[in-house]
Amino acid sequence: MREHPAIVFRDGPTGRRAGLMAGSDVWEIVRSLRDAKRHEPELTDNARIELVATNSGMTAGQIRSAIDYYLAYPDEIDQLVRDADAAEEAALDAWERRRALLS
């Protein structure tokens, strides 16, 4: 993809996903940036990018490439984040029900 040379596309059970050539899917990075903003609101944008880069083992440049892709295709990435959030919530609910039943 000429506009986003660091981005590749991966097929999987959830369909085709944009990801960094040598890194995470874009939706995972966006989700991490949002989590960092929620938990560390005092950080500057650059500090938040550095935090996510450090915690993920990627470079700040890779995080910025994911941000650039997100800015071009926010609906696509936001939907993947919503899907992941829903799956996580469903798994947690099932675990809590199981624990309540068996405890």
pLDDT in tens, 79-95: 999 999 999 999 999 99
Q: What is the pLDDT at residue 1?
A: 65
pTM, two decimal places? 0.89
Residue at token pair 């993920």: 56
| Total domains in the fold of the chain | 1
Residue 2 inside a domain? The answer is no
Residue 1 inside a domain? The answer is no
Which domain, by its residues, includes 20? 7-102
Tell the burial category of 1 from Cβ atoms under 10 Å away from its Cβ (0-12, 13-18, 19+): exposed
| pLDDT over threshold 80, residue 16 | yes
Q: What is the pLDDT at residue 39?
A: 97
